[in-house]
Each structure stands twice: as structure tokens, then as C-alpha cells.
């Protein structure tokens, strides 16, 4: 092996490590390739080194260069983003710098969507215009309704949503002009406006009930409830407590940085496809039980436990590794998920309207006992957003198949904001991970007749 690093190499002085004097510390990383004895100094920016900087580390000129191997992107930042900040150790979630608690207390989902997408809270006039634009775009083309009716009678609403959001691109073919700001703007409005309509149509289809057209006199969440539950009455009057709880749920799901579905939207969007198709990829990723389905699992778990008396034996089973405490633990949050706390607060308002679920007592006591148990605290396992969201969705009268659909409605604003940020980011290119090839090479084809 010859040693021929392209970039200059110099041994790093020990005090460059900078552990003593933070202010004077050099923002670089020095690595020594023990295969060649060469050292390389890589810049550190925002706590990261560039994976591409590793490429200069070679054993020979013809060598491809070093790559980073990171299945599931456990430690790789794929973008720079100014949308959502999470401090998992402290249990902090902020959108554009505003704490989630304040947004849920004072804002509406559409205002938060504006904030997330545009970067600033809107003025009164901007908000009125934004809400008006979204409200007047809630209807879908009649053909959309027709093809949704073609799904099997018991089709999963999430599968219907994946297909119908993607199909919107065929109704708005100019949506592929993603570098035209005006064209982008109208697709953003349409996506936010039509997502609840598609979701409610999918629900009604699944229930074998006629689809209900949007009521543009109602607010976003109230209109959604109307499309979901209106029967023979001339006008559906949503209960303001239910509409507010739903609006807060949409806010809570609006964005959560580079999760699986958002990464899917960015990855598919990086091909410069239209935003309907990119968002359909996000919905598809959310369909998976590890992403959009944990609240269903949490609800089923509470049902299985059934009574407060059964909690200790259930927890013994969890500690013995027989199963997981669903709705507990998070890859990022190593503290109480702030979204769980907010949902917990809104449960009472929903139960006031719909009647109290007996499973709430089980959930509250389960949380209490788990948080008093060293098994959970030592592993930093706290309730996450899914611990209570299933209970609230169930109280709203939703079947479990609709839980991820509700998630998708709220997350649409985040997907759009992340897609926009990507489109405007000069550093982004078509997403194309590398691989470590582990298969055979250079084999000669064996004709069929000569194979056993």
C-alpha cells in the first residue's frame, strides 16, 4: 500500500485538542489513518465534520477514499434546518424558536402552519388571507371523489390517503414547476386545504357512509369534524372543545425535524418531483407501525391491561423483556416528551364531551408506577406523544386505522416546510446514499441448461 494523501497532512499539535481553553480551541478534527500513517485535519462546523472530507483519506491514488457508514442515519445530519429545534435531554420542542407549549396555548394549527412554512408568525392581515386561501381550496375535483369510491369497501384509509395525495399531481400538472415561487405557493395552499378532505373521504368510505363536502363556514378542525361525522343534519355544529382538542393535536404533530416521513419527503423531493408526490412519500412512510402506528399499539396495550390491579404484573412482564411499554421511550427524548404533557391536559376536555374512558385510569396509574420504577428511570424512558394520543383519538370516535391519518394531516405543514427549505438550499442535491457492496463480483453467466 502506498501512502499518497491528496490533501496536506500535518501532525496535530496536542494542545489543538482544546479541552482546556474552549475559546482558543481550533474547530478542527485531526485523524490519523493507521494504514498509511498520514494525518488529516478536517474542519468542524456546527459540531459536525463533512462526510465528504473523509474522501481525501486514501491508501492509494486509485482508492475511492474513506466513507462514513451509518445505517438508519443514527449520527448523520443530512441538512441544515431552521424549522424545528428539539433538546431531547431537556424535553424541549420549539418551532421557529417558539416553544410548543406556547403555540398550543395561544395559536391555531393554521397559524402554526404559517409560522413553520414561512418562518415568522403572520400579521393579522397575513393570517386572515392565509386562512381564507386555505378555506376556499378545501374542495377536491369530483374525479378525486370518483376514484376514491373505487377502493375496496374496507380499504385502509391510510392506503387511500397515500394514493389520493399522490394523485393530486395529475390534477395540477404545473405543480412540477417547483422553482416557480407562485406555482409553489398555490400547491402549498392546496395541500393544506385538501388533506383533511381526502382524509375524511377515506374515513367515510371505510365506514360505508356518503362523503361529506367541506363546509367553508367552519374553521379548519371544525370543518374536518363536519366532514367526518355529519349525517342528516343540515349543518353540523362542531363542539368547540372537540374542535380545539383536534386543532391542538394537529399543532403537536406539525413537525418533528428529520424523522422517517420527513426524510422520505426530502429524499423523494430531492428528485425535483412535484410536492404532491413528495408528500405522498411522507404519508407512505407514516403508514408503517414504527412511525404512525405506535399510538394504536399503546391503546391496545391499555385495553389488554384493562384494570389498574393488573399493572404490576404487566410491568413485571415488560421488565422481564416479554414486551415493551408502548408509548414510552423515544430515540430523541430522554425526558418527558412535551407533547405527551399537552395531550394529557386536553384529554379532560374531550372526555367532558364524550364521556370518560375507563382506560384513562389505567394510563395514569401505569405512568405513575413506571416513573417510580428504576427500570424505566435509569433508561430514561418517559411517556411519548403516543401514550395518550390513542385515548384522545378514540374518544373523538376514530377507529384505530384513522390514527396515522390524523398524524398525516398535522404533519403536512412540516413536510411542506421541510420540502421548501430543501428546494431553496443550494447545498442540496438528489439524495443518493452510498453503500458497502457485499456481494459477488465478476461472475460468468451460466446458461440455464447448465445449471442444476
Just list the catalytic residues.
291, 330, 386
Torsion 165-169-170-171 (CA) sign: positive
Torsion 357-338-330-294 (CA) sign: positive
Distance CA 289, CA 292 (A): 6
Per-residue binding letters, 47-66, with ligand CMC (x by CB under 6 A): --------------------
Element (H, E) at 119: none
Q: What torsion do the CA atoms of 26, 27, 32, 37 make, to the nearest 10 degrees?
A: -60
Which residue number, 264 or 385, has a Cβ lying nearer to ligand CMC?
A: 385
Is residue 80 part of the contact set for ligand CMC (CB under 6 A)? no
Query: Going edge to edge, which strands form the sheet with 92-95?
Result: 84-87, 92-95, 98-99
Distance CA 220, CA 243 (A): 9
Which candidate, 125, 116, 118, 123, places its Cα nearest to that of 95? 116
Identify which range of 299-307, 376-384, 395-403, 444-452 contacts ligand CMC by CB under 6 A. 376-384
- Exactly one of 329, 390, 404, 414 binds ligand CMC (CB under 6 A); which one? 329
Is residue 328 part of the contact set for ligand CMC (CB under 6 A)? yes
Which residue number, 169 or 384, has a Cβ lying nearer to ligand CMC?
A: 384
Q: Shortest Cβ distance from residue 161 to ligand CMC (Å)?
A: 17
CA contacts within 13 A on the Cβ side of 63: 19
CB contact at 8 A, 246 and 403:
no
Is residue 384 part of the contact set for ligand CMC (CB under 6 A)? yes
In order, the DSSP letters of 43-94 are E-BTTB--GGGGGG--SSTTS-------GGGTT------SSEEEETTTTEEE
Is residue 381 part of the contact set for ligand CMC (CB under 6 A)? yes
Which residue number, 169 or 259, has a Cβ lying nearer to ligand CMC?
A: 259
Distance CA 98, CA 95 (A): 5
Per-residue binding letters, 261-300, with ligand CMC (x by CB under 6 A): ---------------------------------x------
Per-residue binding letters, 385-414, with ligand CMC (x by CB under 6 A): xx----------------------------
**Within 10 A of 253 (CB to CB), how many other CB atoms are there?**
23
Binding residues for ligand CMC, rule CB under 6 A, total 17
Which candidate, 306, 206, 255, 300, places its Cα nearest to that of 93? 255
What are the two backbone dihedrals, phi and then psi, of residue 98, each rounded to the nearest 5 degrees? Answer: -95, 125
Output the nine-digit C-alpha cell for 96.
421557529
- Exactly one of 26, 145, 241, 324 binds ligand CMC (CB under 6 A); which one? 324
Pick out residues in 184-243 that bind ligand CMC (CB under 6 A).
none
Which residue number, 41 or 386, has a Cβ lying nearer to ligand CMC?
A: 386
Per-residue binding letters, 245-264, with ligand CMC (x by CB under 6 A): -----------x--x-----
Element (H, E) at 224: helix 220-229
Q: Shortest Cβ distance from residue 293 to ligand CMC (Å)?
A: 9
Which residue number, 243 or 381, has a Cβ lying nearer to ligand CMC?
A: 381
β-sheet bridge partners, residue 45: 48
Identify which range of 2-10, 191-199, 378-386, 443-451 contacts ligand CMC by CB under 6 A. 378-386
Distance CA 271, CA 273 (A): 5
Is residue 327 part of the contact set for ligand CMC (CB under 6 A)? yes
- Exactly one of 115, 144, 326, 359 binds ligand CMC (CB under 6 A); which one? 326
Which residue number, 260 or 431, has a Cβ lying nearer to ligand CMC?
A: 260
Tell the residue number behind the cell numbers 376556499, with chain if given.
136
Task: Indicate the residue whose CB is closest to ligand CMC.
Answer: 329
Tell the residue number behind the cell numbers 412535484, with chain if given.
274
Distance CA 77, CA 84 (A): 14
Q: Shortest Cβ distance from residue 440 to ligand CMC (Å)?
A: 33
Identify which range of 174-182, 225-233, 240-248, 377-385 contacts ligand CMC by CB under 6 A. 377-385
**Within 10 A of 285 (CB to CB), how many other CB atoms are there?**
22
- Exactly one of 103, 148, 325, 406 binds ligand CMC (CB under 6 A); which one? 325
Residues that bind ligand CMC (CB under 6 A): 256, 259, 294, 318, 324-331, 379, 381, 384-386
Amino acid at each position: 500500500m502506498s501512502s499518497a494523501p491528496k490533501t496536506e497532512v500535518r501532525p496535530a499539535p496536542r494542545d489543538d485538542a482544546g479541552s482546556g481553553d474552549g475559546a482558543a480551541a481550533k474547530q478542527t478534527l485531526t485523524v490519523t489513518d493507521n494504514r498509511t500513517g498520514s494525518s488529516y485535519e478536517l474542519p468542524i462546523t456546527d459540531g459536525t465534520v463533512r462526510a465528504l472530507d473523509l474522501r481525501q483519506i486514501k491508501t492509494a491514488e486509485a482508492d475511492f477514499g474513506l466513507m462514513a457508514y451509518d445505517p438508519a442515519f443514527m449520527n448523520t445530519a443530512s441538512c441544515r434546518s431552521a424549522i424545528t429545534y428539539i433538546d431531547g435531554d431537556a424535553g424541549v420542542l420549539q418551532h421557529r424558536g417558539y416553544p410548543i407549549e406556547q403555540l398550543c396555548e395561544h395559536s391555531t394549527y393554521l397559524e402554526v402552519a404559517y409560522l413553520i412554512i414561512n418562518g415568522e408568525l403572520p400579521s393579522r392581515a397575513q393570517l386572515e388571507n392565509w386562512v381564507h386561501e386555505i378555506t376556499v381550496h378545501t374542495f377536491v375535483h369530483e374525479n378525486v371523489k370518483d376514484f376514491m369510491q373505487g377502493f375496496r369497501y374496507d380499504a385502509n384509509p391510510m392506503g387511500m390517503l397515500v394514493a389520493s395525495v399522490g394523485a393530486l399531481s395529475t390534477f395540477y400538472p404545473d405543480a412540477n414547476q417547483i422553482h416557480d415561487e407562485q406555482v409553489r405557493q398555490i400547491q402549498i395552499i392546496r395541500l393544506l386545504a385538501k388533506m383533511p378532505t381526502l382524509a375524511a373521504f377515506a374515513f367515510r368510505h371505510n365506514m360505508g357512509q356518503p362523503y361529506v363536502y367541506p363546509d367553508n363556514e367552519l374553521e379548519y378542525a371544525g370543518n374536518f369534524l363536519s366532514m367526518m361525522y355529519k349525517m342528516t343534519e343540515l349543518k353540523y355544529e362542531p363542539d368547540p372543545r372537540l374542535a380545539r382538542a383536534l386543532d391542538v393535536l394537529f399543532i403537536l404533530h406539525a413537525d418533528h425535524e428529520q424523522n422517517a416521513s420527513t426524510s422520505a419527503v426530502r429524499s423523494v423531493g430531492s428528485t425535483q418531483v412535484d410536492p404532491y408526490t413528495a408528500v405522498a412519500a411522507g404519508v407512505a412512510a407514516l403508514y408503517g407501525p414504527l412511525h404512525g402506528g405506535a399510538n394504536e399499539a399503546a391503546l391496545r396495550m391499555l385495553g389488554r391491561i384493562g384494570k389498574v390491579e393488573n399493572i404490576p404484573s404487566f410491568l413485571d412482564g415488560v421488565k422481564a423483556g416479554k414486551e415493551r411499554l408502548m408509548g414510552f421511550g423515544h430515540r430523541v427524548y430522554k425526558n418527558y416528551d412535551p407533547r405527551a404533557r399537552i395531550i394529557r391536559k386536553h384529554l379532560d376536555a374531550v372526555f367532558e364531551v364524550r364521556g370518560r374512558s375507563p382506560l384513562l385510569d389505567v394510563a395514569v396509574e401505569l405512568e405513575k408506577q413506571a416513573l417510580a420504577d428504576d427500570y424505566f428511570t435509569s433508561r430514561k424512558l418517559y411517556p411519548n406523544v403516543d401514550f395518550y394520543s390513542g385515548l384522545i383519538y378514540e374518544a373523538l370516535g376514530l377507529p384505530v386505522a384513522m390514527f396515522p391519518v390524523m398524524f398525516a394531516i398535522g404533519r403536512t405543514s412540516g413536510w411542506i416546510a421541510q420540502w421548501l427549505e430543501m428546494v431553496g438550499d443550494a447545498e442540496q442535491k438528489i439524495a443518493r446514499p452510498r453503500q458497502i457492496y457485499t456481494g459477488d463480483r465478476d461472475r460468468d453467466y451460466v446458461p440455464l441448461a447448465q445449471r442444476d
